[in-house]
Amino acid sequence: MEENKVVLVRENENDDFNSLQIIKEKKTDFALKCNQVEIIFTSQEKEKIRLMRARVEKQDPSSKDLDDLTMRRFLRARDLDIEKASAMFMKYSKWRQSFIPNGSILKSEVPNEIAQNKMFIQGKDKQGRPITVIHGNKHFQNKIGGLDEFKRFAVLALDKLCSRIPQGQEKFVVIADLGGWGYSNSDIRGYISALSILQDYYPERLGKLFMVHVPSIFMTAWKVVYPIIDNNTKKKIVFVDNKRLRSTLLEDIDESQLPELYGGKMPLIPVHES
């Protein structure tokens, strides 16, 4: 016999989650339908979220405003281990307060990174996930602002991406274009720092990472970075054959949303202008 669950439906895109109406009940799990995208919570996840919320609110009362989707991302990043997920969230909360005390990174805080014009945000894939394009051959170690400015730039970019994620979706897509990449672009400390920020403070936000136009010399740097990538992230990385570049991207991205440089119709928009 099928067990009951709760299915919640958003009446329109301006409604908040509190206005969702229950349309049918079942016991095992429940779903949120936001702008035609259904988000499923299993009964196990709901119970884990409840327990994690109680734990983190004791340590950080401000977390009471945290939504269930955010809680679940931290839980999933730690295989639903409440203790580890709670510790991960508390680390994130303290980092956010110290690294971004004003709530956001301003463009004026990362002028040297912006000047490299290496990252762009435009379009969405077929699942509604925003797309960013990163040109690896335009990245150079920041000798003026240093690693700290690069970290601030990474946060500015990630916050921009997350702000463009539509209701009902949780992830974004990255196209890392390494065409023309050379040793002068190699920045192991920078790569590891950006990766750590993504994995530690933006868990379960990456939907897919397309690695395109990858030169053989890049694999030297990749071998250093790869062991640091967690297993969940590794599953989302796709190295694309140059001969199948456009067709591979079109499997996930409509031509109207595909950047022009890959045969689509979407112009690139610099991250600081998006």
Angle subtended at Cα 156 by Cα 267 and Cα 101, rounded to the nearest 5 degrees: 160
The pLDDT value given to residue 21:
31
Could you tell me the domains of the chain? 6-99 (1.10.8.20), 107-273 (3.40.525.10)
Give phi and psi for 235, each to the nearest 5. -65, -15
Mean pLDDT per 10-residue interval, the chain, length 274 residues: 35 34 36 56 93 94 89 95 97 95 96 98 97 98 96 98 93 98 97 97 98 97 96 96 97 97 97 91
| CB 252, CB 208: distance < 8 Å | yes
The pLDDT value given to residue 14:
35
CA distances from 61 to 55, 93, 109, 221 (A): 10, 11, 30, 42
Where does residue 20 fall: left (phi above 0), alpha (psi -120 to 50 degrees), or beta otherwise?
Answer: beta
pLDDT tens for residues 9-59? 333 333 333 333 322 333 344 444 444 456 788 999 999 999 999 999 999
The pLDDT value given to residue 38:
64
For the chain, list the strands marked E by DSSP. Answer: 6-9, 21-24, 29-34, 37-42, 119-124, 130-135, 172-177, 206-212, 237-239
Q: Which long-range contacts (CB under 8 A, 24 or more apart) does 75-84 make?
A: 75/45, 75/48, 75/49, 76/203, 76/204, 76/232, 77/199, 77/203, 77/204, 77/232, 80/44, 80/45, 80/48, 82/48, 82/51, 82/52, 82/55, 83/55
